[in-house]
Amino acid sequence: MGRSRATHYRHARGPVLGPKQRRSPGPQALDADERAAVLQVINQTGYGELSIGQIWIRELDENRYWCSLSSMYRIAAAAGQTRERRRLATHPAKVKPELVADGPSQVWSWDITKLRGPAKESGTTCTS
């Protein structure tokens, strides 16, 4: 016929409309109780500032295997805990000081190039 068998049957089946069907979880997938246990391990007091990989390694060092590393990351991501887990200092936004003079002898500065005056500058030089 001039085409492969797979192409023939794909065209004979016709177009598939709509979203793909979700696969059912495999036989080794964690159930809800096991996922909750893994999430409880992630949220233990000693593991609060550790990454998911460090938690997984420490649990392996203590001969406790809960799930694979990628599964632990997926469980943490579903709970919204894959970002930075440490407490980080938050710094206030830096405010740039602005000197405004609306009259004589109000602002003194050694550099007057950035000083604003009472009127908007038009970009032309004044000659008096």
DSSP 79-122: TT--S--S----PPPPPPP--B-SSTTS---S--SS-B-SS---
Residue type, 28: Q
pTM recorded for the entire structure: 0.52
Tens-place pLDDT, residues 97-116: 777 778 888 777 777 676 66
The yes-or-no verdict on residue 121 having pLDDT over 50 is: yes
Tens-place pLDDT, residues 51-68: 899 999 999 999 999 999
The yes-or-no verdict on residue 86 having pLDDT over 50 is: yes
